[in-house]
């Protein structure tokens, strides 16, 4: 378990909760999924740009000549464009989600492979990583066909991934509780200096 710290199982819970919430929303509101996602991404970029602008403004540099100022300006403009014209960026979002799903699937497969001796039924968790990986490939290979039913497909994928990730988090938490218990049971032996 050298790959995991005692706190790392919490990241599995956070990722699981986030994926479950987004998955349920996408499953029950599938028609406007892409436009809503583009607008949410735009809002996030816009807020990040405003935050960067405030930080750049408070620094000793000229706001528009500093790297932070340029990044803030680009973020604000890009955020506004994404919010006001989501239909232009729909195809790009499908590709971005394909890449994100590929990454998430590979990450889970690598994590399970590294801890396969410490968990029961590692094949189940590897299958949980294969699902987003395969869906990510489908997104990248057939983006135009995906647009019509992306909400349902992405919703189901994220819900299954969330449940799998949650189970893996509980397994890691249980492992660290067992390791801590074993460490506490060690007998204390006093060694005298000669």
pLDDT by residue, tens only, the chain of 194 residues: 444 444 455 676 777 788 888 788 777 776 677 777 788 888 888 888 888 777 767 766 655 566 667 777 888 888 898 888 888 787 787 888 889 889 888 888 887 787 777 777 777 778 878 888 898 898 889 887 777 777 777 788 888 888 887 877 777 777 667 665 555 555 555 556 65
CB 139 within 8 A of CB 156: no
CB 16 within 8 A of CB 145: no
Largest separation between any pair of C-alpha atoms in the chain: 79
Distance between CA 83 and CA 78 in Å, rounded? 9
Distance between CA 167 and CA 179 in Å, rounded? 19
Distance between CA 130 and CA 109 in Å, rounded? 7
Q: What is the pTM of this model?
A: 0.52
């Amino acid at each position: 378990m050298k790959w995991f710290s005692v706190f790392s199982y919490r990241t599995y819970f956070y990722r699981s909760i986030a994926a479950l919430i987004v998955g349920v929303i996408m499953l029950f509101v599938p028609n406007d999924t892409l436009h809503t996602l583009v607008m949410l991404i735009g809002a996030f970029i816009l807020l990040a740009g405003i935050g960067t602008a405030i930080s750049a403004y408070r620094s000793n540099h000229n706001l528009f000549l500093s790297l932070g100022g340029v990044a803030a300006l680009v973020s604000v403009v890009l955020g506004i464009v994404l919010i006001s014209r989501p239909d232009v960026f729909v195809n790009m979002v499908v590709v971005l989600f394909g890449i994100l799903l590929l990454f998430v699937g590979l990450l889970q497969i690598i994590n399970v492979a590294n801890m396969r001796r410490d968990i029961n039924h590692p094949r189940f968790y590897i299958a949980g990583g294969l699902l987003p990986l395969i869906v990510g490939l489908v997104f990248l290979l057939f983006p135009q066909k995906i647009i019509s039913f992306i909400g349902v497909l992405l919703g189901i994928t994220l819900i299954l991934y969330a449940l799998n990730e949650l189970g893996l988090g509980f397994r890691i938490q249980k492992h660290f509780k067992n390791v801590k218990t074993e460490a506490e049971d060690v007998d204390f032996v006093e060694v005298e200096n000669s």
